[in-house]
Amino acid sequence: MTAPATLLLALQIAASPAPAPPTAGPDVQTTTPPAAQEDAEPVPGRLGAAQQGGGDIVVTARRRSESVQRVPIAISVIGGTALAETGAYNVNRLTQLQPSLQFYSTNPRNSAANIRGLGAPFGLTNDGIEQGVGIYVDGVYYSRIASATFDFTDTQRIEVLRGPQGTLYGKNTTAGAINIISRAPSFEPEARVELSGGNYDFFQAKGSVSGPLVADQIAIRLSGSLTTRRGTIYNLRADEWQNSQDNLGLKTQILWRAAPNLDVTFAGDYNRQNPRCCVQYYARVGATQRPLARQYAALAAAQGYAVPSTDPFDRITDVDTPLQARQSLGGLSLTANWDVGAATLTSITAWRFWNWNPSNDRDFIGLPVTTVSANPSQQRQLTQELRAASNGRRALDYVVGAFFFHQTIDTQGLQVQGAAAPAFLSAAGTAGLTARNTIGFTNISAAVFGKVTWHVTDRLSVAPGLRVNYDEKEGDYLSLVTTGAGSTTLTSAQRGVLAPQSYQPKFDNWNVTGDINLAYDFSDDVHGYLTYARSNKSGGINLSGLPLDAGNNPILSSATVKPEKVNHYELGLKTQLLDRRATVNLAAFWTDIFDYQATVTNGQLGVLRGYLANAPHVRTRGVEIDSAFRPSERLNVYANGTFTDARYVRFTDAPCPPELSGGTNAAAGQAASAPGTPGGISPANCNVSGQILPGVSKWAFSYGAEYDHPAAFAGLPGNFYLGYEGSYRSKFSANPSRSIYTDIGGYSLSNFRLGYKEEGGINVFAWLRNAFNQDYFELLATQSGSTGLIVGQPGDPRTYGATVSFAF
């Protein structure tokens, strides 16, 4: 080992904090009921372990181990067993268990996670901005949601924190955080195996093995998962099933107990996904203000084209571009925890990569309008976090830390217009028109943060927090556009479809944010809190091309996006009743966001990607309830719900919805035509103040129950059980400016399980998901060019299968 490397390792060890040395733990740790017995031996949780009575759930949301009921944060916890039994094996499926969490994805790169309606702009991903929901895996921050679309492998628990967390977590997170904790290496030999099979050729295998390499000093854990499933959408033209799954994940952890008070963990992981994905296709048609001959029905008829079915839930398509969503991701991390008595020091060093190689059909139909749409991308990130957290309960508890983040992204975009482009886009000379985009991005962020908890009395505590943050972003965007003959001399019509652009945006900013929290213990089982947070989401740069002016030239003033400034207020109450057989937690929140980063589009015929702009004022407010009941030793019931009112308070120059787009631009003082008037007059922009934010349901619920009955099998004690999980979402808008054509209706889903399990041994169960075969859309979108075509991505149909797992 080189001298610098030796010095780095020594510094990491010397600066590392950690709780007690990791051991083989349960899925979600609980302590015995008396609140004072916080050091009691942990026992395994049951279904929805964080929600069930019978003990205190121990979490590390505030960078120390403590009861979830005593954490003055709106937080939900799901244990590894519950994840497996409910089929929630990735972030997307968590949404059926956590109503405040929304996840949208047209492909892994174009994914977004929102909490309470906030996090990332709704629409196609723009690499030049931050996500407002932080994803952490074993303390390591994942900078893009795409790099967190892996299958959960060997997961102990997942903590979902709602509201700003910038004074506790390395990266500033204005909407919340998803904290994924893996099972740690064990000094006791153990192994776990889980196998699942179902319809649509579904197969999933997960396994892990752990044990000592050197007794009481070095332990290792090896984990892996494999998921395959044929697609649910049949492509007649390609003669293949699309929207399939093909995922592989591997992870290694090595724990070195260097001293009784010092642990060092080295971890490495690799994930590969190669599905035939992701197709969006005909959902419906709406009227726009383009001339009738230039709307979808007339354009398709002129080409002699008809979609295979106008019922999207027939699940057939004929898109004519090969689909691919291949990605590989992984990384290395070194975590050191050093208990120095009064405090625990922690160092987390991590390097991660993400390689993305897609192919999409961005005209969404079987005509060669856009024959190639691909943006291969390579991301690298380096993070370093140093943190100190006080041990035990003192008059003053604290967490202080420093965080550094460096990210690079290189993208090579390619878009090619096909033979049908001139007629379909009403733009001569666009057949063979090609854009080659070279995009570079560098992102640096550094921060110091801290939070102090002053226990004024045994029941009252005050916890102020502060964060000082610096962000710097630099980009380089070059789009070279050539005609079918290879010329770079373009007509105005050609530039209106693919415009050559070159710009180098840059953003940098210092900001100081903070929060204050008041918590009061009314009793050992009733806890209240009040929080105010002033948070900041970094500004950004547009890396998907800029909108054009009347002369089809890029508007350089739109190259950067201002930071979001957040004022957040929250009132919470956490209760356990009836000898802790009932848990009811309530939270009311109000969040104002100024300079909200919104995805918008412009009126170009061939624009396939949106760009970012700032909406002056957005507000989200609501009430959440998390509840669980254990009426008997055999029955567990839970019900969670959220009411969210998320709206644009002021956004007077927003893009217009499809029904007001595509017509002649209104002159000064000229009134716009009624929505959907062919050949009408379109406003230059629209006032959407008061409209709901996209992607947010006003009402969302998750609920379920499990009943078990003791029985012996082969002489071993166990339980037969029946489980049910349900969820409901009310309608939501799928367009940045609400449209009558892109509202997604409310829907409910029901899942059932029936099985048998032995304590700490085998678990065999049959499962039925979307049991009533509910037809619903996950997303709707508009075809470029204001043609009126609305395309959709349907949710999974009914699936069924069986799972067997065992541990030894």
Give residue 70's pLDDT: 85
Identify whether the C-beta of residue 756 lies closer than 8 Å to the C-beta of residue 249: no
Q: What's residue 527's pLDDT?
A: 96
Residue 476: C-alpha distances to residues 100, 553, 599, 609, 674 (Å): 36, 17, 20, 17, 41
Which is more confident, 671 or 5?
671
What's the whole-number mean pLDDT along residues 434-461?
Answer: 95
Report phi then psi at 91, rounded to 5.
-60, -40
**What tokens were used for 789?**
């075509």
Question: 501 or 35, which is more confident?
Answer: 501
DSSP 3-state of 490:
coil
Distance CA 666, CA 668 (A): 7
Query: Residues 468-475: what's their mean pLDDT?
Result: 95
| Position 242 pLDDT exceeds 50 | yes
Burial class (CB in 10 A: 0-12, 13-18, 19+), 724: middle
- Of 578-587, 591-600, 768-777, 791-800, where does mean pLDDT reach its minimum? 591-600
Contacts of 549 (CB under 8 A, 6+ apart): 555
* Tally of CB atoms within 10 A around 289: 27
pLDDT top residue among 699 and 127: 699
Mean pLDDT, range 331-336, rounded to an integer: 98
Tokens 């943006």 correspond to: 375
Could you give the angle at the alpha carbon of 290 between the alpha carbons of 661 and 654, nearest 5°? 5
Tell me the pLDDT tens digit for each residue of 383-436. Answer: 999 999 999 778 899 999 999 999 999 999 999 999 999 988 888 999 999 999
Task: Give dist(CA 434, CA 494) in Å, integer.
Answer: 10
- Nearest C-alpha neighbor of 442 from the set 355, 562, 541, 328: 541
Task: Give the dihedral sign, CA 17/22/27/28.
Answer: negative
Q: What are the structure tokens assigned to 558, written together?
A: 């739109």
Q: What is the pLDDT of residue 95?
A: 86
Cα(218)–Cα(263) distance, integer angstroms: 10
Instruction: Determine the average pLDDT of the residues in 344-359.
Output: 96
At residue 601, the pLDDT reads 57
Please state, in angstroms and rounded to a whole number, the distance separating the CA atoms of residues 698 and 620: 10
Q: What are the pLDDT digits (tens) for 59-111? A: 666 666 778 888 889 998 888 888 888 888 888 888 888 999 988 888 888 88
Residue 363 has pLDDT above 80, yes or no: yes
Place of tokens 């972030």: 91
Which is it for strands 155-162 and 343-359: parallel, antiparallel or unpaired?
unpaired
Residue 203 DSSP SS3:
strand
Domains, the chain, with CATH or none: 3-807 (2.40.170.20)
- The token duo for 385 is 């976090």
Cβ burial of 760 (10 Å; 0-12, 13-18, 19+) is exposed
Which of 246-260, 461-475, 546-560, 749-763 is predicted least confidently?
546-560
Confidence of residue 468 (pLDDT cuts 50, 70, 90): very high
Give the distance between the most distant pair of CA atoms in the chain: 85
Q: What is the pLDDT of residue 361?
A: 92
Q: What percent of the chain has pLDDT over 70?
A: 90
Looking up tokens 């996090």, which residue turns up?
Answer: 119
Cα 85 from Cα 764, distance rounded (Å):
10
Residue 690 pLDDT exceeds 50: yes
pLDDT at residue number 331:
96
Output the pLDDT for position 123. 67
Give the residue, 61 or 225, on which the prediction is more confident: 225
| Residue 259 pLDDT grade (very low, low, confident, very high; cuts 50, 70, 90) | very high
Tokens of 792: 């959709």
Q: Where are the alpha helices (DSSP H) in 56-192?
A: 80-86, 91-94
Calculate the average pLDDT of the chain.
87
Q: Are 360 and 323 in contact (CB under 8 A)?
A: yes
Q: Residue 57: what pLDDT?
A: 67
Residue 51's SS3 state is helix
pLDDT, average across residues 703-716: 88
Say which residue, 480 or 48, is predicted with more confidence. 480
pTM higher than the cut 0.85: yes
Query: CA 678, 683, 687, 693: dihedral to nearest 10 degrees?
Result: 50
Distances (CA, A) of 419 to 237, 297, 429, 431: 17, 18, 10, 5
Compute φ and ψ for 266, nearest 5 degrees: -105, 130
How many of the other CB atoms lie within 10 Å of CB of 78? 26
For residues 251 and 150, what is the distance between their CA atoms, to the nearest angstrom?
A: 12
The pLDDT tens digits of the residues spanning 627-657 come to 999 999 899 999 999 999 999 999 988 888 9
pLDDT of residue 52: 41
pLDDT for position 299: 94
The region of weakest confidence among 32-46, 199-213, 265-279, 758-772 is: 32-46
Q: Over 80: is that where the pLDDT of 151 sits?
A: yes
